[in-house]
Amino acid sequence: MKERHLLILNMINEKGKVSVQELSEALKLSMVTIRKDLEELESQGLLRRQHGYAVKASPDSINSRMAIHYPEKKAIAQTAVALVEPMETIMIESGSTCALFALEAALEKDVTIITNSAYIARYLNQVPMAHIILLGGDYDAVAEVTTGPVTQLCAQEYHVNKLFVGVDGYTEENGFTNVNHTRSCVVKDLAKRADQVIVLTTSDKFGRQSVAKLFSSEEVHTVVTDSSLPDEYKKIMESHGIHVEITDI
């Protein structure tokens, strides 16, 4: 992603709504160039355009979450690819960082991806030869994932070495947590079908506690996060046997 695109997204995410003229003045670019940039970013679902303005994407959409801390998420995705073998079959749960990782893995390692994320399946349209197995189940249109007993039943048909997941929080007392208890049940079942659970998350999630418990510290093999991770949490996780990978960003 171009540096000025990140600057545009940062301004819009901070203010919620920014005029084309304001962006033009702030970035010292022509309004024609700004409009072209906004059109490109809208095509990726990272913002919405209104007459003379750019507006944040829906806060519940994965695209909206992807625009927040995008450089860190991209770096985490690129770091995590080193954990995957060429042509390996892996499981990936939904989330913005996981979607970026799925794209990197499909491009670089020619993997087969088992997922309950319709968003990831759609996001990988840009890799025509990507091999995706989409698990069935009850469809959550906001999160673009399948959940429920059918998804859990489908997962039982597979076994992989690695499951990659995102989280919404981590504390030593409560482990890794998620905002949605229905999705967390599916993630736990996916984890039963994998030898290793690998968490991909930005450092701002550490010290937070969310609603539904996903995993204890002992159930996670590896965490990949950015360099802003407080040293306290790195030491805590390593004391529980978690391998911690830090991106260079």
Each residue of 10-69: pLDDT tens digit? 888 778 899 999 999 999 999 999 999 999 888 777 788 988 999 887 655 676 677 778
| Listed residue (17, 144, 14) closest to 69, CA to CA | 14
Each residue of 134-186: pLDDT tens digit? 999 999 887 889 999 999 999 999 999 999 999 999 999 999 999 888 889 99
pLDDT for 226 equals 96
Distance CA 77, CA 101 (A): 4
Ordered domains of the chain (ranges, CATH): 3-57 (1.10.10.10), 67-246 (3.40.50.1360)
Burial of 82 (0-12, 13-18, 19+ CB in 10 A): exposed
Distance CA 62, CA 16 (A): 16
| Listed residue (98, 117, 226) closest to 162, CA to CA | 98
pLDDT for 47 equals 83
